[in-house]
Structure 1
């Protein structure tokens, strides 16, 4: 009898350990991975917008409302990326800690989407493509985890320092790679304007078919202008993205007579068996793919 009771208790331990984890909801896969890196075994992270999915056009479902209402920490990118976030938090009556991972970074302004009235520039939300700005993400997420789970402070700070060091190592490596390419050759075209921070960090001139949001549709006139610019500037690096429609880029590539250099990961990780299943893998993959076209 005692042995049977002990066996039941032992079987129950993993469930108890799981229940003790801090329930966290992340708005999309990239900040979800950063939160796992810092939180380790103390957190149970669910990303609302998963791998190969688009946070720009995401529409929360009832299941997402339920997930958020049961969580204690909500990690977002901010900077205007999640236009649906206010509706979701209101519907879920979320009472936990909300972290805006991009809060406090030096933002980049991008041209307004084609067809918008007034034509004011907008904040570019894709700051995770600059590893130096990711250091701010790390600090903000760490502070949020500590606020939601003060007992884990030492572990969160230790893991954050380790993650920050690995991000810096990738940044140093990338800077060295791009520095070896003449500035005049550092030009590339992508599906939408997601790599502005990346270009700013490494001195790369960026062209894009769409604006900072994938919701905007490029016009025939806009594509024609890009074709002309690609030819004039002799842009050789043209890239698809993992979560955008590839047909328009294929059309532009054909008209401009430039080959497509590969697939980049812009707004989402790949699935677990893909080349960009974590933030650091995403960054490394993108750098290597771009460098192949620059050489």
Structure 2
């Protein structure tokens, strides 16, 4: 069940009425809030130990349907800098930020990225292209350098080293996926989160659910996808870390297409998992895709 905007605003306001905000112990301690785990990791890579980074939507959590807590409201109220993804990803963030009364500067990490459309809607999952990831990092570094000019060189060096790793992985990804035959380039995931990856690396992603995990496919839409897959085929199906595997399992049972593993789409993994950073997430997804797509189909 989704709260209406007015009701949600009332909940947030009530949270602030109930909480006594402590005065920060150190006025020079820079506090940064990032809206979700992937963006939070990018920020941490850039700032190092120069700031405290708090992430609102944590690992293995779905930002599409997230409802902020009192602790989230407190973090936003006390923040000096706030980073959001933008492109309509965090439907709850505007209300949370406005109701908090925060004086923090709010920065949109996707500024400068050309968005793609899925069924007429803007796709917010821009981080699933590594070249876009470089833009995220560049935007984060610029914002933090402005807030901490005395550490601008260190922040710039952190960003440059991180961008070099992203660029190298981008080159590796293009090289590995370029060798796939055309009949091994179509895959199915739980929701439409990989449009940028598809565009960047020459793949086709199909999904029973659109860009928002809160939506559900109609029986007619699901049947049409299953019929399409029976007629045209797909190299593999993949479940996601933030969604139920039920729909993908149903598609697998009705089409005979094997489930190739689990991809991380909108969130990192918990500690000890295979995707505890943005780089590790992309490496895991690439390896999982290649394990299935490069495998010769059963005869």
Distance 1:213 1:231 in 2: 25
Q: Quote how far apart the aligned CAs of 1:18 are.
A: 8.6
What does residue range 245-260 of structure 1 map to in structure 2 within 5 Å?
Answer: 245-260=244-259
Q: C-alpha displacement at 1:20, in angstroms?
A: 4.9
The alpha carbon displacement at 1:21 in A equals: 4.1
Deviations 1:141-166 (A, max 9, x none): 11111122222211111100011000
Q: Distance in 1 between matches of 2:27 and 2:283?
A: 34
Residues paired across the two proteins, number:
271
What corresponds to 2:136 in structure 1? Answer: 137
Gaps of at least 5 residues in structure 2 are 1-24, 295-299
SS at match of 1:192: coil
Give the superposition deviation at 1:226: 0.9
User: What secondary structure does 1:263 align onto?
Assistant: strand
Using the TM superposition, give the Cα deviation of residue 135 of structure 1 relative to its aligned residue in structure 2, in angstroms: 1.3
Per the TM alignment, residue 169 of structure 1 is displaced from its structure 2 partner at its CA by 0.5
Q: Is the CA contact (8 Å cut-off) linking 1:97 and 1:147 kept in structure 2?
A: no
Q: Distance in 2 between matches of 1:103 and 1:173?
A: 26
Deviations 1:59-118 (A, max 9, x none): 11222111111110101100110111110011111111111001110110111xxxxxxx
Q: Partner of 1:61 in structure 2? A: 69
For the 8 Å contact 1:21–1:41, the answer to whether it is kept is no
Extract unaligned runs of 5+ from structure 1.
Answer: 1-16, 112-120
For residues 219-240 of structure 1, give each alpha carbon's deviation from its aligned partner in whole angstroms, at most 9, with x where no partner exists. Answer: 1111111111112222021000
2:279 pairs with 1:280? yes
Report the secondary structure of 1:216's partner residue. coil
Partner of 2:269: 270
- Deviation of 1:248 after TM superposition, in Å, equals 1.3
Query: SS at the partner of 1:191?
Result: coil
The list of structure 1 runs, each at least 4 consecutive aligned residues, that deviate by more than 3 angstroms after superposition, is 17-21
Partner SS, residue 260 of structure 2 = strand
Q: 2:113 — aligned with what?
A: 105
Corresponding position: 1:91 with 2:99: yes
Tell me, in whole angstroms, the C-alpha distance in 2 between the residues paired with 1:43 and 1:220: 49
What SS does the corresponding residue of 1:282 show, helix, strand or coil? helix
Quote the residue 1:231 is aligned against: 230
1:8 is matched with which residue? none
Larger Rg computed on CA atoms: 1
- How far apart, in 1, do the equivalents of 2:28 and 2:244 lie? 41
Q: Tell me, what secondary structure is at the counterpart of 1:82?
A: coil
Candidates 35, 41, 48, aligned match of 1:33: 41
Give the distance between the partners of 2:215 and 2:148, measured in 1 at CA: 40
Taking structure 1 as the reference length, what is the TM-score of the superposition?
0.89
In structure 1, distance between residues paired with 2:230 and 2:286: 24
Structure 2-normalised TM-score?
0.88
Q: Does 1:158 align with 2:185?
A: no
* Cα distance in 1 for residues equivalent to 2:26 and 2:267: 27
